[in-house]
Structure 1
Amino acid sequence: MISIVKDLAAEALFVSSLQPSECPSRQAVERAVTAMLLLHGSDGCAAEVATEFGDHPEMAVRRMHWVHDELTGVVAPAAVA
């Protein structure tokens, strides 16, 4: 289940306007993910990602690496106490 959530969050952050140069906070990342999912839906985010990989593959790969780095710790399984 966590894998699916991470994938959805990655696609949503990818299509957001946040940039690596902004060094966004965890809260900014969470807001961007939520806003993009509400705006585009999961299918819409996936379609936008696919378009970018088709049109600008080199840039899309770099952005997706940044996205995954940003999501580390934001979308993670809860620690079991």
Structure 2
Amino acid sequence: MNAVLADVRSEALFVSNLQSSQRPTPELIRAAVTATVNRLGESGCAELVAQEFGEHPDCAIGRMRWARSAVRSAFAA
């Protein structure tokens, strides 16, 4: 997976309604990423990520770590 695609997917998962506490399956992660990108677009996802990091940096760091890890696992080739 190239870095730009991984970033877009991670941002989409970050701003989705899916929570790490739900222990989502790879299928749910892929579905959430697709639905969020379709709803907000790539730039919309990036804007919301920036907003969250600005307003809640303490929480955003952990959520982004989870999102990046979950995307790596869910979209592994």
For 1:40 and 1:74, locate their aligned partners in 2 and report how far apart those are by CA, in whole Å: 21
For 1:41 and 1:20, locate their aligned partners in 2 and report how far apart those are by CA, in whole Å: 22
After TM superposition, the score normalised by the length of structure 1 is 0.89
Q: Determine the structure 1 residue equivalent to 2:44.
A: 44
Let me know the Cα RMSD of the aligned residues.
1.2
Q: Determine the structure 2 residue equivalent to 1:54.
A: 54
The AA in structure 1 aligned to 2:66 is W
Q: Percent identity?
A: 43
* Over 4 Å off, 4+ runs: none
Unaligned runs of 5+ in 2: none
Unaligned runs of 5+ in 1: none
Q: Determine the structure 2 residue equivalent to 1:65.
A: 65
Alignment of 1:1-81 (within 5 A): 2-76=2-76, 78=77
For 1:69 and 1:8, locate their aligned partners in 2 and report how far apart those are by CA, in whole Å: 13
After TM superposition, the score normalised by the length of structure 2 is 0.93
For 1:16 and 1:59, locate their aligned partners in 2 and report how far apart those are by CA, in whole Å: 15
Question: Aligned to 1:17, what secondary structure does the other structure show?
Answer: coil
